[in-house]
Amino acid sequence: MANFRDSFRWFKSLKLFSVKNDSVGLDSYVISDDRETSYPDGTKYVAIQEREFIVNTVINQIAKRVSNVKFESLDGRSNELLEKINNPNNYQTKVEFLKEFCIFLLSSGYTAIWKKYNAFGVFSSLELININPDTIGFNLNSISFTHQAIKHTVDYEQIIFFYDIRKCDTDYAISRLKPLKSQIDNIRNAQKAKGIQIDNSGTTIVSPKASTSNNIMEEGLDGPVPTKVMGPNGMIQKTQKEVMEEKLTSRGLKNRIIVSSKGMDAVNLSAQLNNVKFHEIVETDVLAFCDAFSFPPELTPYGKRATFDNKELAEIALMESEIIPISENFAKSMMSVFPKRGEVFPSFKHINAMSLIEERIQKTNGTTIDQLTVLLEKEIISKEEFRKILQTKKIIENGKSR
């Protein structure tokens, strides 16, 4: 069986453990509980994705695109692994499964899939179950987690681990969210401030002018006011503040201006609302967050001057930086875990952005060939050099065009 540590070097992005048949081997290697799945205050990464607007927006947009990728076999025929990816378990479709997988992976820096055999050793009975990293606990020879509100403990050989970011030659996973806590907090606080401003936008605060000679109110709004209402202990006393609040409530004037016979200052809380540009306050935080996930700002609600054309370019950039690598490495990993169940490859032909990528590649290749042809005709390069350059740029393979 392959050495466990060596198996970590197999892939650049998503990694898994050494494989023999349909199981994952540990080779006497103990997995330590050194995956950071939360901030120091205990807030779990997947939980952050579920509740924070900017985190949810970016990760869900990437996950949605990954889930729309189709998987095919090289010969166009179906095989066991392809069928399993398209029908991963009894309660999720392929789209739902891949979206959840991607959300867990990008939130926590790693994720795990439970190989749940309903009949031992029978591949057709296998269900692929995503495990929420927020619920995972690592034991000496097993892993504990919660799935559908039920606690499970299974051996490591029943688990496939995938990594987004991981320290070299270790199983230490690093979430992309780890260094972004202050940015996420700033964006959340700006949203709260905006909400408070909107809630108070129709409210006017009034206070007696201290300089008004007729207002002898040394105690301010806390000064007593006779109510002419008898209580158990005599005349009920109320403050100026209490009387004003009662008038606001009883007359339904919470969002109106009260005219008083006494001189007063009035401040409308919405007066400066239009001057506060909350999106500009947190713009650098949003850009830093998007950059961590290679997510073009043009595809977020914060995108400035987003047009159809630059959104198309943004889609291309996102495909090349995140969607294609995640999809390809998922397929490679699954083939490594189940080597006898067939080959699968992600297909992007149905995605609009992919046609633009192919068009750009063809245009670039055409320009390169034209330039090299001129050099060849002028005998600046030889035919052999011409062919070698085309092969290096992968425009041709074995003397034939791609």
Taking each helix axis from N to C end, the angle separating 53-67 and 283-292, rounded to the nearest 10 degrees, works out to 30
Over residues 99-130, the pLDDT tens digits come to 999 999 999 999 999 999 998 889 999 999 99
Q: Region 5-29: what's the mean pLDDT?
A: 36
User: 264 φ, ψ to 5°?
Assistant: -140, 155
What contacts 24+ positions apart, CB below 8 Å, involve 296-301? Answer: 299/61, 300/54, 300/57, 300/58, 301/57
Q: Does pLDDT of 254 surpass 70?
A: no
Token pair recorded at residue 322: 């995140």
Report the range out of 94-98, 120-124, 381-385 with the highest average pLDDT.
94-98
> Quick one: residue 399, left, alpha or beta (phi over 0 = left, psi -120 to 50 = alpha)?
left
Q: Region 305-329: what's the mean pLDDT?
A: 81
Determine contact, residues 109/165, Cβ cutoff 8 Å: yes
User: 162 vs 8, 29, 59, 113, 383, CA distance in Å?
Assistant: 10, 17, 17, 8, 46
Q: Does pLDDT of 138 surpass 50?
A: yes
Q: What is the pLDDT of residue 164?
A: 87
Residue bearing the bigger pLDDT, 35 or 396: 396
pLDDT band at 26 (very low <50, low <70, confident <90, very high): very low
Q: What is the pLDDT of residue 132?
A: 95
User: 310 vs 299, 303, 324, CA distance in Å?
Assistant: 9, 11, 20
Q: Flag the least confident range among 8-17, 147-156, 178-187, 333-342.
A: 8-17
* Cα 83 to chain centroid, rounded: 28
In angstroms, the CA 30 to CA 139 distance is 9
Look over the chain and give the mean of its residue pLDDT values, rounded to a whole number.
Answer: 76
Q: Does pLDDT of 402 surpass 60?
A: no
Q: Flag the least confident range among 74-78, 153-157, 330-334, 340-344.
A: 74-78
* Cα 201 to chain centroid, rounded: 32
In angstroms, the CA 316 to CA 310 distance is 10
Q: Does pLDDT of 229 surpass 60?
A: yes
Rounded CA Rg of the chain: 32
Pairing of strands 396-397, 23-24: unpaired
User: 130 φ, ψ to 5°?
Assistant: -70, 135
Over residues 257-302, the pLDDT tens digits come to 454 545 556 666 556 655 667 777 888 898 899 999 999 888 876 6
